[in-house]
């Protein structure tokens, strides 16, 4: 039975195209995998936005169904790892880049890539969290495991109005940390304070070149911005603190010195959500499931259809959105 999916193509004569198409089950099953899933919800992340708009060479094989996130019902699993009817989550693993992803009504994936939906979450809530929230969970887990406690001082979250930042703020607040946020969207003051932010600073103040060492302000940092913002965050971190780095919204460069690391013992921890192992994924998702309530997820989430994805992607690239966008792949379009 044919189904709907967003398909990205790039041809020598016609160039890049993005359109909603009908895909056959035979085409889907020609992909590498062992588990057929009926997708209920997907989401739009920054990497999806780059793929949907062709603003960066995210896609490495053509044609491609984008969508690095998905949640759905197992229809068949040849590996035996999951049973028919199980509800599972996908985050990353090259989907939407080298393997057909989840901005589609069905996906054919490897069972090793999947984790069970935590009991405390609905499928919709899982995609309100999505890879952005799961990445935030990995960052916060890294800070907790490092030994930073709420009484050690303020935690900074950069790019706080985005998907990673929003959930990091809510999660840290729930765990008892005092959170300062930096954002270029100062007008989102009410939104961020509802998530638990204690202080709000203009993100532009971190985006310029700063001194190698600055006043010690943060016991820990969750950074999704990179470039000068990350360099300044490191320079402002307290002795023995940690900076969890997971994004590059400002840039991939790191115009910093070794001063914070060798004079203050600051640790810079890279956080990868794409290839993280099963145990790390389950731990992050359990942390999220037990510490994010329905009100927070409702506050940050918006529901769209497959037809809305390109418009949202363009706004995301332009920095014009906040929170999370859940894609109801089966909603009438």
pLDDT at res. 333: 54
Interatomic CA distance for residues 174 and 140, integer angstroms: 11
Residue 99's alpha-carbon distances to 32, 33, 38, 127, 325, in angstroms, are 8, 9, 16, 19, 22
Residue-level pLDDT, tens digit, the chain, 333 residues:
799 999 999 988 888 999 999 999 999 999 999 999 999 999 999 899 999 999 888 999 999 999 999 999 999 999 999 999 999 999 999 999 999 999 999 999 999 999 999 999 999 999 999 999 999 999 999 999 999 999 999 999 999 988 899 999 999 999 999 999 999 887 878 889 999 999 999 999 999 999 999 999 999 999 999 999 999 999 999 999 999 999 988 999 999 999 999 999 999 999 999 899 999 999 999 999 999 988 888 888 999 999 999 999 999 988 888 888 999 999 865
In DSSP terms, 181 is beta-bridged to: 157, 200
Alpha helices, H only, 218-277: 227-235, 259-263
Structural domain boundaries in the chain:
3-117+295-328, 131-270
User: DSSP letters of 12-41?
Assistant: TTTEEEEEEEEE-HHHHHTSS-SEEEEEEE
pLDDT at res. 11: 85
pLDDT at res. 318: 87
Residue 79 near residue 117 (C-beta atoms within 8 A)? no
Kind of pairing between the strands at 15-23 and 87-91: unpaired
Helix/strand/coil for 189: helix
CATH top-level class for 131-270? alpha beta
Residue 230 near residue 254 (C-beta atoms within 8 A)? yes
pLDDT at res. 296: 86
Residue 44 near residue 312 (C-beta atoms within 8 A)? yes
Instruction: Give the H or E element holding residue 274.
Output: none
- pTM value > 0.85: yes
Q: For domain 3-117+295-328, which CATH number applies: 3.90.180.10, 3.30.9.10, 1.10.8.60, 3.30.750.24?
A: 3.90.180.10
């Amino acid at each position: 039975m044919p189904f709907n999916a967003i398909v990205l193509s790039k041809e020598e004569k016609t160039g890049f195209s993005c359109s909603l198409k009908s895909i056959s089950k035979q085409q889907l099953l020609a992909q590498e995998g062992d588990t057929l899933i009926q997708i209920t919800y997907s989401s739009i992340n920054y990497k999806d936005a780059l793929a949907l708009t062709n603003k960066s060479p995210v896609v490495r094989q053509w044609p491609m169904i984008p969508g690095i996130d998905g949640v759905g019902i197992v229809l068949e699993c040849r590996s035996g790892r999951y049973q028919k009817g199980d509800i599972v989550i996908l985050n990353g693993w090259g989907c939407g880049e080298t393997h057909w992803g989840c901005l589609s009504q069905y996906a054919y994936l490897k069972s090793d890539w999947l984790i069970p939906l935590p009991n405390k979450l609905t499928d919709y809530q899982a995609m309100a969290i999505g890879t952005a929230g799961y990445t935030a969970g990995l960052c916060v887990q890294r800070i907790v495991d490092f030994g930073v406690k709420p009484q050690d001082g303020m935690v900074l979250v950069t790019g706080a109005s985005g998907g990673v930042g929003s959930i990091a703020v809510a999660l840290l607040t729930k765990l008892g940390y005092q959170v300062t946020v930096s954002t270029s969207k100062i007008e989102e003051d009410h939104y961020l304070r509802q998530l638990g932010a204690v202080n709000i600073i203009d993100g532009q103040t971190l985006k310029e070149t700063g001194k190698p060492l600055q006043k010690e302000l943060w016991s820990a940092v969750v950074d999704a911005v990179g470039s000068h913002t990350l360099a300044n965050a490191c320079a402002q971190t307290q002795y023995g603190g940690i900076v969890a780095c997971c994004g590059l919204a400002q840039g991939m460069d790191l115009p910093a010195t070794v001063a914070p690391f060798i004079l203050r013992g600051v640790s810079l921890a890279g956080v990868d959500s794409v290839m993280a192992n099963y145990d790390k994924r389950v731990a992050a998702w359990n942390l999220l499931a037990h510490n994010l309530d329905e009100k927070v997820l409702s506050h940050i989430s918006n529901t769209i259809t497959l037809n809305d994805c390109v418009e949202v992607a363009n706004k995301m690239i332009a920095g014009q959105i906040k929170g999370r966008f859940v894609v109801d792949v089966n909603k009438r379009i």
